[in-house]
Amino acid sequence: MRTRLLAVMVTALVLALAAPAMADPRADARDRRKAMQPSGGDRVAFVANGETRENLEQVVVNHFGNPDQGQVLIQTWVEPDWTDAEAVDIQAAVQAVKIRRAGAGFAKRIAIRVELYDNDGIAPNFHAGSSTVNTGDVNGTAYVQTPEAGNLTDPSRPCLWFSVAFYSIRWDDNTLSSGRVLVAQGDWVNPICLVTPASDLRAR
Residue 40 lies in a domain: yes
Burial class (CB in 10 A: 0-12, 13-18, 19+), 53: middle
Residue 63 lies in a domain: yes
pLDDT at 45: 39
Q: Per residue of the chain (204 residues), what is the pLDDT tens digit?
A: 555 554 545 455 444 444 444 444 445 545 544 444 444 444 433 455 788 888 889 999 999 999 999 999 999 999 888 887 777 888 999 999 999 988 899 999 999 999 999 887 788 899 999 999 999 998 999 999 999 988 887 878 888 889 999 999 999 999 999 867 888 876 666 666 765 554 444 444
The range of the structural domain enclosing residue 158 comes to 24-202
pLDDT at 2: 53
Residue 39 lies in a domain: yes
pLDDT at 157: 82
Residue 5 lies in a domain: no
Residue 112 lies in a domain: yes
How many independent structural domains does the chain possess? 1
pLDDT at 51: 85
pLDDT at 179: 66
pLDDT at 181: 81
Give CA–CA dist 191/178, Å, rounded.
38
Residue 11 lies in a domain: no
The span from the first CA to the last CA of the chain, in angstroms, equals 58
Dihedral of CA atoms 193, 196, 199, 202 in degrees, nearest 10, equals: -50
Residue 90 lies in a domain: yes
pLDDT at 25: 45
Residue 187 lies in a domain: yes
